[in-house]
Amino acid sequence: VSLTTGGAIGCVRSITLPTWSMDSIDASCLSDTGFMKKIAADLVDAGTVQVTAVFEPTDEPFTVDGAQDTLTVTLPSAGATSGILSGTGFISECTLPSIEIGGLLEQTFTFTFDGEGQTPLYTPGTEA
């Protein structure tokens, strides 16, 4: 996982990839019976990516400032190349680590694709 402004993120513990969704529009008429008629909306919601990474006490925490950035997630691969998800957006939420005895400091942030700049694109990897 890397951000254009911050570079590669060390020791990523988990990644939740986005759900791409499209709303539906009720196109039913007053005279219809039975089931609703629906049509697809015009735009796809690109969703969010949630990343949890180890937080070192010397790290600068992620912040929510609305600045546009580019997120790139490179999936692990046993093939010749890895699958890559990349797109522009912004950090919309960040959680500072919980501090507890015997616990690992982890920070979680949510990256929201903005649909501008580079729209989210997944490039599949190739086999060896």
Instruction: Give the C-alpha distances (Å, rounded to integers) separating 28 from 8, 21, 33, 82.
Output: 49, 21, 9, 45
Contact 110, 46 (CB under 8 A): no
Two tokens at 114? 């903005």
105: amino acid identity, one letter: L
User: What does the pLDDT read at residue 117?
Assistant: 79
pTM (two decimals): 0.85
Contact 98, 125 (CB under 8 A): no
The torsion of the CA quartet 115, 118, 122, 124, rounded to 10 degrees, works out to 170
Using the CB atoms, write b or e for 15-37: b if 16+ within 10 Å. Answer: eeebeeeeeeeeeeeeeeeeeee
User: What does the pLDDT read at residue 17?
Assistant: 95
- Coil, helix or strand for 43? strand
Beta strands at 7-8 and 2-3: parallel, antiparallel or unpaired:
antiparallel
User: What does the pLDDT read at residue 126?
Assistant: 84
Q: What is the pLDDT along the chain (128 residues), one digit of tens a residue?
A: 999 887 888 899 999 999 999 999 999 999 999 999 999 999 999 999 999 999 888 888 888 998 999 999 998 877 788 899 999 999 999 998 888 899 899 999 999 999 887 889 998 888 87
User: What does the pLDDT read at residue 106?
Assistant: 93
